[in-house]
Structure 1
Amino acid sequence: MNMDKLEVIVNWLPVILQGFGFDILISLLAMLIGSIAGLFLGFGQVAEHATVRLVSRIVTQFFRNAPWLVILFFCIYLLPFEIRAFGLEIPFPAWAKGVIGLSFPVMGNVSEVVRGGIQSLPSGQWEAADALGLNRAQTMRLCIIPQAIKRMMAPWMNTYAVLIMATPLVSIVGVNDSVKVAGSMLSTLENPALLIWVYGLILLLFFMYCAPIALLTKRIEARAK
């Protein structure tokens, strides 16, 4: 890379970093919403009531296997652009729709993580709790969940790693993330020679963010064995 290209990228670096920070914010919000919803959906998969289990499994498998981009488009076009309440018009921006769109597949994956973590425990844990006279809610709260959390952490973090790598999809629906900012930058400069360097920088940013997550996941997974 010659000095002219380097100078251009350095000048635009704060804008690209701002877009990348927006990617991280969207991923964290989507992970929070998806994890909370997936937690309840996962409990539904191991519920005593057969109908609750069936519905929870159908919803889980649907969102686990649906294309993320298609879900994003559904949210962008089906959710309103503004919400009217008590005489107020509250805007509903594209990034908020992107957060909701990404939270659905996260919900499906977290639900499966919760189900797998709970069902991975030996049946003796349930039998011991039953022998102590604990009901199902007490068994889950006092015995099963504390042990299952350790087994859930590594796959839960893997889900977040997949999410952060999928977050640039929101650029397609008009959100000003790092990829959208890079596209605007290249259009403004009209210099195709910068394309590989700009997108290479974005790849490097994602690698620097995701690599520590992958290493931490391996360490947690090793401790859980």
Structure 2
Amino acid sequence: MNHRSIRKYTNQQVTEEQLNTIIEAGQMASTSSNVQAYSVIAVSDPDQKRALSALAGNQAYIEECSVFLVWCADLYRLKQVSEVHMEEQPSYVDSTENFIVATVDAALAAQNAAIAAESMGLGIVYIGGVRNQIAEFADQLKLPDLVYPLFGMCVGYPDQEPGIRPRLPRSGVLHKGTYNVKQTLEAAANYDKVYTEYMRVRSGDKPAAAWSQFMSKRLAEPVRLHMKDFLQGKGFMKR
């Protein structure tokens, strides 16, 4: 309930013991059929963080954080360990369903890890910018086929105390029995008012746009349209 994104960090470093605990907590997240279809690349070398930051939109906090975790959906491991047992059976490792399983597995593990980090007094921020130049990013990390970087996560000791961003009303996301269209739209309209006020205060009393306006701008932008070709080139979603 106290989560907020941290984009400024002190020089205090995350210890190897803390990192191991964070990853182990992530590993205890639910995983579909125990496939555990994800891997994590931990980057702490300043030069490597700088190179990755440049590919992810020059976000300074990637360089400033103690350790940058890249969460990857990983079907490569499953393909390799299963092939010896399959003989002449066809493999559906490249199916869209398995792509979804790996993506969800990585996201669930990452959120467990984020909560573990916050329980230690650390702060995190997710970085979707790893997908800006995803082919180059994957090359930097030497990712094989059937592995793709889903998002990054900066981890470190916070050097700021940002406010907690308000979320949609519970009625906007919780439906009973069936999806309630009227309820979800009413909740979104109410959220527009709350969000506008939050942004006005945050910006020092400057005029602020509503949440729905931000979302319309986002949907009007052709963002990362290279993803489908990249993923299929990496061996995902072939069927």
With normalisation by structure 1, the TM-score equals: 0.25
Query: Which of the pair has more CA radius of gyration?
Result: 1
Query: Which has more strand, going by share of residues?
Result: 2
